Structure 1
Amino acid sequence: MGSSSASAFKSVVGIIVTALIGVPLFAYLVIKLFTSGMATDVTSSTMTKEAVTARLQPVAVIKVVDGGPPGSKSGKAVYESVCMSCHDAGLAGAPKFADAGAWAPRIGQGFDTLVKHAISGFNAMPAKGGAADLTDDEVKRGVAFMANAGGAKFEEPKVAGAVGAAIDPAVRGKEIYASVCMACHDAGLAGAPKFGDKAAWAPRLKDGVDNAVAIAIKGLNAMPPKGGFSGSDEEFKAAALYIINASK
């Protein structure tokens, strides 16, 4: 075999060897590059249940605090988060929850006295049961919840803004006037007596306030029933009285 043929043969062998070694090596390096950092060490602190859960939380997740915004805890929520620690087992002389015999003499002292003791502290019980962040109304709800379970019939203070919460009729009347009645009564449109105009309202009130309210509920002339207000008659009455009181 000539020297040129030998050289050509060596070149071919070199290419084949390079291909056999180089291609797998290249593939390995590529795989290593794209899987770098993917090895999982289950003993690592980053792989604990808590750490994994934290990483899986949605972006901007909102954590809801038990009991809602300040001042909104119900009596049951106050009991379960604060009072239960002593009243559930009757520790340090605390009357046990739902123990009518233990609660009877305390209920006999009246709601105001029980609330005063709960807010200021009494015997071994610290002020507000040790939960200084509770509002007075929340403490009252907690007292009512526990006492009622022991036989009382106290009423828990309503949460402001909650369904069923007491609303000042004058405040509600003003709101309805501003959203509905003002459209006509502010400027006296379509024969509507102007707000605060005593002379215009006098003949409409000659048969009494109740009669004027009843007419307004049914509607009169250009005014539709309740002035177009879609709420209850009781709510509309608050608006009517708000207008009438401003015109007496």
Structure 2
Amino acid sequence: MRLLQTILIGLSSSFSLSAWACSDLPNICEMNAQHHQQMQDYGRQAAENYYWQQQEQYEEQESRTYYSSYDPMQSRIEIATDLLNSDLQKKSQEQKFKQDPRYERYINGGWEFFQDSANPKRREYCAAFFWKKQSLIKVSGPGGDYAGAMLTFWGEDIPQPKKTEMIQVTLKQSTGDAQSVRVFNYKLPNYPYAAISFAVPSAQALFDNMLENEHFIIEQNGKKIVEAEWTDGLKARDQLKNCVTGNKI
């Protein structure tokens, strides 16, 4: 199963009941269907609550002078976008950039591993962030009331809503057909770009379907809003596993 299929399972009712259960045991089938729908609703609501809580937390911290120290992800996004803008605007200073150790990651790509919260508990908010030029991707595990995982992208062409919304996009991966899915779309305070996040049912489902190399194209209404890729995906998977299981990241 590919990561795209895992995302689709998490966002739709694609868990099916067997044919014999529905034909021979209609009452049980109906109860199972009701239970499944309840679990789908719970998972969707938990993910939405998670992002509303996160946005409220960032808005509260925005007024503090030491705000950036509370948000590990924000500092990484800022570094990545600063290098991107500098590379586009100041080609004449290429030698200076090459002396910056961050520039190597900007050119060749790489992962950073951390817990994406101000005061994280062990095993929570485990995150792996990959960036290479315009590719800005975070893979993250459970945190707070949310027991699933998330796949998040940032980009200058992603819509910037005033509050968290659910939008319909078309997702294409390295192989397979394009699929239409609903994703979270939001912009956190002080971030240069907005983000879109795909819900994955569990951290284990994410681990089972991460590939070594991956390429993503995301479109909205026929317009490409994200094109991103990662390499060394298995390294990221193993580091996230260590964090989620309570080992040092």
**TM-score surpassing 0.5?**
no
Name the structure where helix makes up a greater proportion of residues. Answer: 1
Relative contact order higher in (CA < 8 Å, ≥ 6 apart) = 2
Q: TM-score range by the shorter chain?
A: under 0.3
Q: Identify, as 1 or 2, the structure richer in strand.
A: 2
**Structure index of larger Rg:** 1
